[in-house]
Amino acid sequence: MKFPIRLIPDGTNLPFMDWVRIRTPISLALIVLSFALFFTIGVNQGIDFKGGTIIQAHNANGPVDIGTVRGIVDGLHFGDVQIQTTTSNGQTDALIRIALQPGGETAQTAVVDKVKAALGSDYTLENVQVVGPTVSGELARSGTLAVLFTIVGIMAYIWFRFEWQFGVAAVATLVHDAILTVGFFAVTRIDFDLQSIAAILTIIGYSLNDTVVIFDRIREILRKYKQLPIRDVINLATNQSLARTIMTSLTIELALIALFAFGGPVVRSFTAAMIWGIFVATASSIFIGGPILIYFNIRPKVVEERAEAAAAERKTDTTAAGA
Amino acid sequence: MLHFPRWQVIGIILIVFLGFLAVIPNFLSKDALAGWPSFLPKSQMVLGLDLQGGSYLLYEVDKNDYMDKRLKALTADVRQTLLTNPRIGYTGLGVEGQAVQLRIRDLSQLDDARQRLDKLRNPLDASVLSAGSVYEFDLTVGDDGLARFTYDPAGLTQRTRQIVQQSIEVINRRINGLGTTEPSIQRQGDDRILVEAPGLGDPSRLKALVGQTAQLEFHMVDGSISAQQAAANPPKAGVERVPDKSNPQLIWEVEDQALMTGEDLSDAQTAFDPQTNEPIVNFRLTTGGARKFGDVTAKNVGRPFAIILDDQVISAPTIRSPILGGSGEISGGFTVQTANDLAILLRAGSLPAKLTIVEEQTVGASLGADSIRAGVAAAIVATVFIAVFMILCYGILGLFADLALIANNFLMIGILTTLGATLTLPGIAGIVLTMGMAVDANVLIYERMREESHAGRSTIAALDTGFRRAFATIIDSHLTALIAAIALFELGSGPVRGFAVTLAIGIISTLFTAYLVTRLIVSGWVRWARPKVVPL
């Protein structure tokens, strides 16, 4: 094996622009699927947005028995209660999730005291989280605002650095990535909470970073080869940035895999979403961000016509030479 | 691009070295740091509650409760003002929704009434910026004699801020009285208070101490009835009904005017009743309070009075003789701890309004330690993964990128430490993620070098152009990532903020290390090894 390794061979020239017939249906199907899932089964809203109580109960005498804990907690009649096991510190604890109780803020904090009293002195509460109705409403609002704020900020930046067409293409790409990530949450049933919003925002940031690098290259080629048709410009730019796109995604995925495997349960759902999101963002910057620019007029019309004419001429030349 | 003036070389090395110095204290014990020379950085990274364990309690001022209570008090004040010399007759005084309303009987006294009532509007300390002073209440007096107090919106906001400020002071005194933990107490927004207590496994005592209003009042007792009787009969005028603390079936009827409140107390201490050996709370009154109490007890020998804490009667002793010494005791089935806590509460004073918990999180210390171990393990594994991957793909230049990555880790943690940022588990995730992104600039530069070299440039020229051409792209990609980080920070809430801060600092420090540090290393290497080809 040659060293250093080349993951993307030199001179790679894949016809990205020709794959529109495969790419568009796949991406549209995934978007429709994400929407369908979101509006039918929805995402599994976490405590941050729904409010409620999560208690991790640890039994000093050994691993907890879920049945016993369930029996005790069911006796308190809290309505929607989920109990599962969780492992931390090599010990098996019970994770009790209790839905928001009617009766405002004070009713929520009372839940913890009741559970603690009912479980008795054999159990210690390792991790308790209570989110009341006021805060959960606010968090949902500020989460949505943060995503919108990011998208607008990014559009403004790209508009400032490039032409407005690039801004629209970049936003189309990152909206695509955000929707597919929400779809991921709907499929996996991972808790959708503030950390998930953080994951979506980071993915948006990364998606953009990836797209911008390709845009930079497109702009450079546009300036350098005034005679090249847009289609070829985009294809060339995508191919030239391909090695970088793949390399950077891989290093980030490596870091994320380390986090997923060793980072503990608290960051696991966040990392899972990120692993998927980075994958989607990479694919979309290659297959959507650049190619979508063909639908916009990114070069003044006159220049473009001249470029096409020149290309047609070259083609006749080569045909003639071949004949 | 590959040539560096001497000052730049020194500058870059110095910055990396400073970052390294700032990181060191994190690995030293507090004792070792004490012997550290004073010119070296000493600050250690603060661990978030999710890493060291502890309680996070977010309180909100219960505005409705405050407004209701305040209107009741205002009603009493109005009565007091209008009935004292000369007396102004009125009818229908009472709380109407969120207003206090009354009608002046004699319209010829209307101007006098207006002047007297105006004094009850409660001016608040106006802020420097606002013109004129803000009042808590707006007063309208109609020509038909109808007077109405309503809350002034600006005044209410101002009052809420004052309440938060006063509450923080009271909570501080209470927690100092407890003397064990060192929680941080901060204002959040207009009407919230955040209490963070590191290292506290069970917050129930803290919650009891912080959340209790501790409004102490002494009232003369009119009589007592059962809960059933109370439900059947409406209370008489001027009488308030208060439930008993230990017996929920017992309802006390007390005069609605308080004889004394917690403000008349100057001190409170736990003691033991010499006869029953039961824990009690001894209190001392202020001079004014002592005089008032002496007068009242002298007039009412043989009658009981109720000691009411937060709308519950703790006890209702009978006055056997006038109490003139300015001290007394409260007994009521306390344990040593509850008596002790009550003494702390009475010493610290009452909260100006009820506080409710809107968010609460408690993490056990062992769970926190677990999270730190997991975070550090993930960081180490990620570093090794990326380092090996970079060497596999870029050979010696990959090694240089790894050196820059390590410099970046020092710099990032150094900056976080110096800024006094709080490290949370999402923050560690941010650091790990930044490592993945840190080598992105290197990848951009190296790919560019390859292209330039394939395009037929000489080795030095290819290396040089690689750095130059990649720069604009690196700036673009980093700035866009920074926008996302800022949005994340705006999103707020503790852990996510920790992630945003590390991400933002990481983006800036990688710009420095990947671009300048790598370039410096490459420049040194070119001079020393004189490479014939670009080793990519």
* Count of domains forming chain A: 2
- Beta strand pairing status for A191-192 and A44-45? parallel
Interface of A with B in 16-55 (CB under 8 A): none
**Residues A247, A184 share a domain:** yes
The answer to whether B125 faces chain A, any CB pair under 8 Å, is no
pLDDT (0 to 100) of residue A300: 66
Instruction: Let me know whether A147 and A60 are in one domain.
Output: no
Question: What per-residue confidence (pLDDT) applies to A322?
Answer: 45
Protein fold of B216-328: Gyrase A; domain 2 (3.30.1360)
Question: Is A39 in the same domain as A59?
Answer: no
Name the nearest CA neighbour of B515 among B389, B400, B418.
Answer: B400
Q: Which of A203-212, A244-253, B21-30, B370-379 has the highest mean pLDDT?
A: A244-253
Residue A320 has pLDDT above 70, yes or no: no
- Domain match, A240 and A293 both: yes
A310 touches chain B (CB under 8 A): no
Within 130-169 of A, beta carbons closer than 8 Å to B belong to 130-132, 134-135, 139, 142-143, 145-147, 149-150, 153-154, 157-158, 161
Note down the domain range covering A269: 16-44+136-314
Q: Do A37 and A112 have their domain in common?
A: no
Task: Write out residues 222-241 of A within 8 Å (CB-CB) of B.
Answer: 240-241
Q: What confidence category does residue A323 fall into, taking pLDDT thresholds of 50, 70 and 90?
A: very low
Element (H, E) at B330: strand B327-330
| Partner-chain residue, chosen from B377, B492, B503, that has the shortest CB–CB distance to A262 | B377
In the structure, what pLDDT confidence band is assigned to residue B493 with cuts at 50, 70 and 90?
A: low
Instruction: Look up residue B190 and give its two tokens.
Output: 């207009």
**pLDDT band for position A265 (cuts 50, 70, 90):** confident
Chain B residues in contact with A142 (beta carbon < 8 A): 490-492
Q: Is the pLDDT confidence value at A54 over 60?
A: yes
Indicate the DSSP class of residue B102: E
CATH of B63-158, one of 1.10.3470, 1.20.1440, 2.30.30, 3.30.1360: 3.30.1360
The answer to whether the beta carbons of residues A201 and A154 sit under 8 Å apart is no
Please indicate, yes or no, if residue A11 is contained in any of the structural domains.
no
- Residue A9 is assigned to a structural domain of this protein: no
Stretch (H or E) spanning B100: strand B99-104
Lowest-confidence pick of A78-87, A170-179, A196-205, A300-309: A300-309
CATH code of the domain in which A22 resides: 1.20.1640.10
The 10s digit of each residue's pLDDT in A282-311 is 999 998 888 888 888 777 665 666 767 777
pLDDT value at residue A89? 63
More confident residue, B394 or B40: B394
Q: State the CATH number of the domain containing residue A85.
A: 3.30.70.3400
User: What integer is the mean pLDDT of B478-487?
Assistant: 82
Select the more confidently predicted residue: B517 or B498. B517
Residue A6 falls inside a structural domain: no
Provide the Cα torsion B219, B221, B222, B224; round to 10°. 130
DSSP result, A39-93: HHT--EE-HHHH-EEEEEEEETTSS--HHHHHHHHHTT--SSEEEEEEEETTEEE
Q: For the domain with range B6-52+366-529, which CATH number is right: 3.40.630.30, 2.30.30.30, 1.20.1640.10, 1.10.443.10? A: 1.20.1640.10
A131, A153, A176 - which closes a domain: A131
Is residue A85 in a domain?
yes
A125 & A269 share domain:
no
Task: Calculate the CA A289 to chain-centre distance.
Answer: 16
| Residue B431 confidence (pLDDT) above 90 | no
Q: Are A204 and A174 in contact (CB under 8 A)?
A: yes
Which of A104, A131, A158 terminates a domain? The answer is A131
- The answer to whether position A1 is within a domain reads no
Mark whether A174 and A235 lie in a shared domain: yes
Average pLDDT of the segment spanning B370-375: 86
Domain ranges of chain B: 6-52+366-529, 63-158, 216-328
Measuring CA to CA, which residue among B491, B378, B436 is closest to residue A200? B491
- A155 found inside a domain: yes
Domain identity same for A142 and A121: no
Q: What is the mean pLDDT of chain B?
A: 85
Q: Is B388 a residue whose pLDDT tops 90?
A: yes
Asked if the domains B6-52+366-529 and B216-328 are classified in one and the same CATH topology, the answer is no
Residue A8 lies in a domain: no
- Contact at 8 Å (CB) between B393 and B105? no
Which one of A109, A131, A153 terminates a domain? A131
Residue of B nearest to A87 (CA): B367
SS (H, E, C) A103-144: CHHHHHHHHHHHHHHHHCCCEEEEEEEEECHHHHHHHHHHHH
Per-residue tokens: B440? 């992105």
Q: Which of B359, B394, B472 lies at the smallest CB-CB distance from A131?
A: B359
Say yes or no: A29 and A57 in one domain.
no
Residues A211 and A280 in one domain: yes
Does the global pTM surpass 0.95? no
Same domain, A185 and A111: no
Interface test with B, best of A10, A138, A251, A270 (most B CBs within 10 A): A251
Q: Domain check: are A34 and A145 in the same one?
A: yes
Three-class secondary structure of residue B338 per DSSP: helix
Residue A76 lies in a domain: yes
